Structures are given as C-alpha cells and as structure tokens.
Structure 1
C-alpha cells in the first residue's frame, strides 16, 4: 500500500510539474511573438546598407535595423536582432527561433507559397558594378559573357543573372559568395571582373567619397522587399502592416530612406502600395 501510495504521489507530482512547466512556457510566449514583450528579428548582418555591424563590430546598423526598431516601437515591444546565415534564415523562422525576417528579402511567389509577407517597404532592381579603372565595355548583362562575375549565392542577383543568361544564350564564370561584401572586396582586388548586386546595395559602395567602384548598368526596379513572417501568423502580420502604413503616412519611412540612402525612395513602391 505504501508503495502504491508512493507511486501515486510521484505521478501527481510529475503531473503538477508538467502543468507548471506548460504554464511557465505559455507565460514566456507572447500573444503573437515567440517571447512575451519582445520582437525577435532575424537578419544576415553583412549586407550593407541594409544590415551590417557598426565600427565597434558589435552594434547592428542599417536600413532594416532602423525599420525593425521603428516597427517594434509601434507594436509596444522591445527588439532583438538575431544574426543568421542567409542559407538557414527561413529554417529558423520555421522552428520559431524568431518572429520575422527583416533582411532585404525579396517577395517572390516561391517564398509566398510557404511564408507570409508584409506590404513592400522598398523597391529594388539589379546593378552591374566594375572598378573605376576597368577597361571592360559593359552596357548590359549579356556583356558579362565569359567574364568572372561575383554575387551573393541564393539571392535575387544570383537568380536574375542565371535566368537572364539562359534566356539570352550566354555563359559567365560564376563566383558565388556567402556575403555580398566579399564579392565587392574581390572586385576591388582584381580577383573578379564584375559584381552584380541589388542596386540599393550598390548605393552604399558608390556613395563613398573615395569609392573605387562605378555602376555601368542598372535595371528597372522589379522586385520588392518585405517583412517575412511564419505562414498563418496573421496577428503579427496585420500589426506589422499597420506599423508600416503609419510610418509611410507620418514620414518615418522617408526619414529612414534619407538617413540610409540620402534620397527619398518612396517612389520605388508607389505602384504596389
């Protein structure tokens, strides 16, 4: 009888602990976020001017950082930026490591099949960059035939050039990088002939007073960046969309454009609002 009583008591204790554990877990989770009171934002911090580390090597800065701070403030939440490798950033969203992705992520049909996106917050096209002392004559993507072209793997630039080359019947020497800044670095040191990147990324390299780069071609803005959230998290998506709409209306978005790009890019999304 004592043994039975002890076993019964142990079972009750385990159930009580399990119940407490579940309650504690529920208390840690927010209404629409993975952690109460906090918006956890994933980004690949190595993609200037959208996300990169400040001179101290520790503080995230850039357009998406400013966006994340402004959105979280409007949601009444603190913000935490989670530095994540690009090739695993969507998997982290699937497993609830964070609430959303703000990392210059292009809204595509393929991604929309598995994830939800906010309204666009900026429009983007592609650009081809050379060094100023380059003797190459390039006026269009087909002029990259046979050249060493650098780009960040698994990005819009990668997909764009691959499809364009196939459609126009030419090949180029692929030089894939895990971070776009490494492509620009190799271009500067003459290890590759050209870089293709988002035109908005090129701005940060071309705008420096001592830049060694020049832009020789730019495509029409034809893709748009949005905040990516887990499929079905309508509560969070609606709140983010509301925050972005308010930021466009009260001039906050324009101030962020000007701070990062020194130009108002509101027109880049005027046809998709």
Structure 2
C-alpha cells in the first residue's frame, strides 16, 4: 500500500505557541467499526480499536479533550451526525466536494489509493477481464469505492453491501470477482486471509481522508491544530508504522 501525507498543508497551518484547548470536552465519535485496520471491535475486549481511534485520541491529547467511539452503521452515519447523535465522524471518510457542501472536514490525515481485493486464484485478473467475465465487483454502499466501481465496470456489474465485511464474505464465497476497497483495509484483509485473498489490482483512484464535523462546527479549527501537532512531532508517522508497513 502507499500512503501520502499532505505535509505542505500541515506546514501552512502552522503551530501556535499555545495549542487549542477544548477544556476537557468529552466528544462522541461516530464510526462504522467494520473496517479494519481503520476501526474495528476487538473481540477479546469489546473495545473499539484502530488507526482512526489512535489518531483521534492523539489529537485529543494535544487539544485537551477525550473521545468516546460509538459504533454506527455506515448507511445513515452522516444523518446521525447532523442530528447530534455524536460530535464528529472518524471512519476512514473520503473528502469529496459533494460531502463538503453539507459537512466540514479537517485537513486530510491520510491519503489512500483504492484497490481490488480478489481470490488468490484470480491473481493477474484485470478490470477488463472482470468485465468480460460477467462477474461483478463488490463495494460498500454509499462510498467512493462504490462510485469508482460503477465508473470501472458499470452499475449493472456492481454488487453493493451494507458493510465491507459482507462484501468480503461474498468474495470468499465466489459470488463476486473482487471488492473495491481502500488499499489500507485491503492490506488488512489480505493479511487476515493470507493464502485465500490477495490485493490484485492497485494504483486506482486516490482519496484523502478527513475527520467530519457538522457544518460550521468551531472544533474543526482545534482539531486541525492538533492534527498539525501530531504530524510535526512524528506521532502520525509512528501510527502509520504501527498499522502498516509502507512500500
């Protein structure tokens, strides 16, 4: 996988002599916890863990807040944010112009390239091969992954699932030819199902990921400052190293 950080953007933000202070605010964070390694539920402890969790907690350490993650289905997560069920969304959310019309994002904390996860025996298959085979590409509904799948193979050749777990199960069962998914999570599934699943196609569309707030939320500025701080002191790089081996 490849990760790219927007160093220039962080530098432009600058670091104030005194960091923003949210006064110990306890923030509720909505997250679709079916997307390892970004966020998932640890079966041993029942705790929500993952890269996004660590990023938000690291930011909160810098700007004096605490975060409580709440498992929320992807379908409806932004509506729940607007209704005040939580204060922000941290769920591997791609920053898009369409989404920016109705919600505010922090600066990007990670840029991910989309990929196609497939069965090992199909290694070497191309998008053209998938289209010619008549088999479908799977993706999670209402995601940029689903949008890209439709661009690549056409809507009739896309199978949509409520969760990426459902899409991966369909792949394992041979119901679909591949799953379009962020390269970060594709790597996690490839590792979990080594010998069965493989990242077959890489280098597709790149998406910047950001934390999501309601339109006009003043906490965006504080989170941007905290994000700049964990980029500057190496914490963000350390978290990437914790979860992935970059090429």
TM-score w.r.t. length of structure 1: 0.76
Higher helix share: 1
Indicate which of 140, 151, 154 corresponds to 1:163.
151
The Cα shift of 1:113 comes to 0.7
After superposition, the Cα gap between the structure-2 partners of 1:239 and 1:72, relative to the gap in structure 1 and judged at 3 Å, is same
- Partner of 1:125, secondary structure, is strand
* 1:122 alignment partner in structure 2: 110
Higher RCO (CA < 8 A, seq sep 6+):
2
Q: Report the number of matched residues.
A: 225
Indicate which of 182, 189, 203 corresponds to 1:198.
182
* 2:72 alignment partner in structure 1: 84
Indicate which of 125, 131, 144 corresponds to 1:138.
125
Could you tell me whether the CA contact under 8 Å between 1:107 and 1:226 is conserved in 2? yes
After superposition, the Cα gap between the structure-2 partners of 1:74 and 1:221, relative to the gap in structure 1 and judged at 3 Å, is farther
Q: How does 1:62-81 map to 2 (within 5 A)?
A: 62-81=50-69
In structure 1, stretches of 5+ residues that fail to align are 1-30, 265-273
* 2:46 alignment partner in structure 1: 58
* 1:259 alignment partner in structure 2: 242
Q: How does 1:174-213 map to 2 (within 5 A)?
A: 174-208=158-192, 210-213=194-197
C-alpha RMSD of the superposition: 2.2
State the Cα deviation string for residues 42-78 of structure 1 (Å, max 9, x = none). Answer: 1011111111011226110111111121122222122
Higher strand share: 2
Indicate which of 184, 202, 217 corresponds to 1:218.
202
User: Which of these two proteins has the greater Rg computed from alpha carbons?
Assistant: 1
TM-score w.r.t. length of structure 2: 0.84
After superposition, the Cα gap between the structure-2 partners of 1:174 and 1:240, relative to the gap in structure 1 and judged at 3 Å, is same
